[in-house]
Amino acid sequence: MKTHQKPETAELPWRRDAPKARRVAMELYSWREPGWVFLAAMAGALIFAALAVFSPALLSLTPTVDLIAPIAEARAVMSGEAKLATHDAPFYLMLLIGADVFVDAPGRIHLVAKALSAVIIFYPLAFLSASRFPAIFAAVLTAAFAAYVAAPFAGVEELGLALFLVSALSFVSVSADESILRARIEGAIGGLCLYSMWLLNPAFALVGFALLSGCPFLTGRFGLWRYVSALSAFAVLALLFELISFGINGERAALASKAINLSTLLGGSESAIGLGGAAYAAILVVAASAVFGGHAHRKNWMAASAILLTGVIASRLTGANPMPVFGLAAGLACFSVASPFYDGLFKAHDRASVSVALTSAALALFWTFAIIIHALGQFSLQHQVTAKAPENIRAELALVQPGGAPIAKWVEEGRFSTPEAREFFALTPVDQSAMLLEAASRARELTAEGIDVAFLTGADTACVLAEARRCRADGNAAANAANVVFVPRLEMDPKTTAAKGRAEALLYTQFKMVERTALWEIWVRRDSQAPAKLFHISDVGMYR
């Protein structure tokens, strides 16, 4: 008597087909013509560059003096008063120089610099991702990186991390359209990013060189060409910049020796709620790729692991937000041309294989898209704060800061009558904006009379706010050449405090104080013929 044998799939429901889920997964994993993917990625990323360019004012929590200082330093470099080589971040300074050609207000200069940063990031990333990832992820990833560097609260650290990740994609992953020409081009792109990082923060470049060492082993038969092209591009740029600004590479090397700081690496971290989900998701996707791919797909999960590890180290050393590290690492493990999840979709495509592939894709896309949502929230807040900001600050500075009643206003109203009382309250960015605009208004009157004016701050802020003159190297250099010096009475920032200390002898010997307001002391050079009508002469006492 024959017995009926049940098919194996009936005993193992997880081995059955899942056609609907597979169709969804296939949409996420579907590839398109690289040229069209490149254009789509560029179009999505351009939106965030445009948001930066057309924003009416920059939202920031940074002290106003710190935002104006880089612009003064950029103009000082252009006028020959300062050296590019000695600046902390020459690459960003060059972006500010470029932005300064198009706009004048300090906040708008930073906004245009952010837009230029986004273009520098998304153009090579779109080129790299179009031949490495499916259409949807390539477009989302490129837009996310553009949003990451163009967002109002993004800074030099975020730009450096984005450059690092673009170079990492070139160094440890392989293109679907691999050729010796593409390998050379992509290696050169990685080298350009590497030198840009060298000029931003040497810590990024040092970690980038460590990642570059794996290039010949992780990027296929043309990996050595990538490696050589990257090193060649770095060497050519290093020589070119040495000719432009002698000693710049020596200065960067001196900073590099201080860049790797173990106390910074092992110090405080982002909140578990803020980044824990993204980190765990990336680790799970990379682990799933390793388990399902095994030895056959080792280059895929090894490359993703390398980006995850080095990206976290780079972000910890520099203080950058590491969110894009997790999105790129998960995306590379999931969507790369070497991803093991394609086997589950195209060969087995049973329920287990499809569910793992779909879950991994959803996690990678979700946390990458979260970068865009976070940036959009910042742009929305920027719009709201700008609408409520005082007209003079918005128009003259194009800088807006959230905050309540300013301490500087309370000091003017006499609520704090002694310096000791003021020390209990921090001077907010809103206070600094009000202080600087009040001084700029007075300084413009003096400038109209042909009098050279300086603000005794860390940088030569008066050349940005009050005068159309060549910027000096710093506030002390400007005070040495000026006839009238405004000295802030409230503590603005450590650099300004140091500048006041260094200039005390100069003020005592070559200047006399003619006016003291609640916020400023005004000093006039002893041999100057400044019109008395421009000052409210009073018994000002001794300089403190």
* Lowest mean pLDDT, pick from 223-237, 437-451, 524-538: 524-538
Q: Measuring CA to CA, which residue among 137, 505, 512 is closest to residue 357?
A: 137
The residue extents of the domains of the chain are 19-54+85-259+271-383, 429-534
Residue 90: is its pLDDT beyond 60? yes
| pLDDT range class, residue 258, cuts 50, 70, 90 | confident
Rounded average pLDDT over 334-348: 84
Q: Which residue has the higher pLDDT, 534 or 109?
A: 109
Rounded average pLDDT over 127-151: 96
Q: Which residue has the higher pLDDT, 426 or 36?
A: 36
pLDDT tens-place string over residues 220-247? 889 899 999 999 999 999 999 999 999 9
Cα–Cα distance for residue pair 309/211, rounded to 1 Å? 10
- Give the pLDDT score at 273: 46
Rounded average pLDDT over 56-83: 92
- Give the pLDDT score at 413: 62
Cα–Cα distance for residue pair 75/469, rounded to 1 Å? 10
Other CB atoms within 10 A of residue 58 CB: 26
- Give the pLDDT score at 543: 37
| pLDDT range class, residue 264, cuts 50, 70, 90 | low
Q: Which residue has the higher pLDDT, 296 or 289?
A: 289
Work out the percent of the chain whose per-residue pLDDT is above 70. Answer: 87
Residue 271: is its pLDDT beyond 60? no
- Give the pLDDT score at 29: 93
| pLDDT range class, residue 14, cuts 50, 70, 90 | low
For 515, the enclosing helix (H) or strand (E) is strand 511-516
- Give the pLDDT score at 16: 64
Residue 4: is its pLDDT beyond 90? no
Q: Which residue has the tokens 């950029």?
A: 74
Cα–Cα distance for residue pair 387/104, rounded to 1 Å? 20
Q: Which residue has the tokens 């090894």?
A: 302
Residue 445: is its pLDDT beyond 60? yes
pTM: predicted TM-score of the whole model, two decimal places: 0.89
Cα angle 272, 168, 330; round to 5: 45
Rounded average pLDDT over 109-133: 96
Q: Which residue has the tokens 């894009």?
A: 324
Rounded average pLDDT over 343-354: 77
Residue 359: is its pLDDT beyond 50? yes
pLDDT tens-place string over residues 397-414? 999 888 655 565 665 566
pLDDT tens-place string over residues 361-392? 999 999 999 999 999 999 999 999 998 888 88
Rounded average pLDDT over 427-435: 78
Residue 424: is its pLDDT beyond 50? no
Residue 130: is its pLDDT beyond 60? yes
Average pLDDT, the chain: 87
Torsion angles phi and psi, residue 455, rounded to 5: -105, 130
pLDDT tens-place string over residues 300-336? 999 999 999 999 999 988 889 999 999 999 999 999 9
Residue 3: is its pLDDT beyond 60? no
Torsion angles phi and psi, residue 156, rounded to 5: -60, -35
| pLDDT range class, residue 7, cuts 50, 70, 90 | low
Cα–Cα distance for residue pair 198/204, rounded to 1 Å? 7
For 436-468, give the DSSP string.
Answer: HHHHHHHHHHHHHTT--EEE-SSS-THHHHT--
In terms of DSSP H, where are the helices of 294-405? 298-318, 323-335, 341-343, 351-388, 391-396
pLDDT tens-place string over residues 20-57? 878 888 899 999 999 999 999 999 999 999 999 999 99
Please report the beta strands in 346-403, taking only residues with DSSP state E, as ranges in sequence order. 399-400
- Give the pLDDT score at 450: 85
